[in-house]
Amino acid sequence: MTSTENKYVLNYFNRHGKVELCRLIFHCVDAKYEDNFIENYTDSDTSLGFMPYLQVNEDKIPLISVICRYLAKEFNLAGDNHIHQAKADAIAQTVMLLIDTYYRNVFNIEDIDTKKINLKDYLSNDVESAADTVENLIKLYSNNGDWCVGNKCSYADLFVYEMAKHYFPSDPQFTERFPHVYKIKRSVEEKSKV
């Protein structure tokens, strides 16, 4: 089957989260997919032991980073060659590490005081470090173009967009310090279908 003939079902909880990275890929290429919202994890298919998971026809694929790499390859968003794919993976994995840190250290913490302390640490340390790394990778890989890698949108661009939109502070000084990150964000907003 080709990617246009496959049936894609994205299984996740009914909220914004890591799964948004998969949805961005589907929207970017205008691919049809279904959301299957799981109300209670204990009621869902837990045979994989992970949420979310993507069902492609009868096959089930767990883990956001694996799902996104699969979709990027399936829809030609992984890069034009193996070097571009490795560069896109490096940027996407750096973003994924930041997002994982947010969910592990902030989102999933129930104690309000601990959550506040962790959020402050996340914003001052984790975000700064990830922003520096991604900014440097974009400078190194983009040749000052509109995209992270090569001359077209890749899944790395979608990851940078998601990171800048939902995981970075909206402070104008922060935006000025990371011009390459925000240039990619604007390119995705203006030139892709998301």
Please provide the CATH number assigned to the domain covering 8-75: 3.40.30.10
Say what the pTM is. 0.92
What was the pLDDT predicted at 22? 96
**SS percent in the chain: helix, strand, coil, step 5:** 55, 10, 35
Average pLDDT score, the chain: 91
Q: Is the pLDDT of residue 142 over 70?
A: yes
Domain extent listing, the chain: 8-75, 82-191
Whether the upstream peptide bond of residue 52 has omega within 30° of 0, thus cis, is yes
Closest by Cα among 150, 11, 2, 152 to 74:
2
- Tell me the per-residue pLDDT of 94-137, one tens digit each, with 9 for 90 and over: 999 999 999 999 999 999 999 999 999 999 999 999 999 999 99
Tell me if domain 8-75 and domain 82-191 are identical in fold.
no
3 state SS of 100: helix
Distance CA 52, CA 102 (A): 17
What was the pLDDT predicted at 46? 60
The helix (run of H) or strand (run of E) holding residue 11 is strand 8-12
Q: Is the pLDDT of residue 42 over 80?
A: no
Q: Is the pLDDT of residue 172 over 80?
A: yes
User: Could you tell me the pLDDT band of residue 144, with boundaries at 50, 70 and 90?
Assistant: confident
Q: What topology is assigned to 82-191 in CATH?
A: Glutathione S-transferase Yfyf (Class Pi); Chain A, domain 2 (1.20.1050)
User: Could you tell me the pLDDT band of residue 4, with boundaries at 50, 70 and 90?
Assistant: low
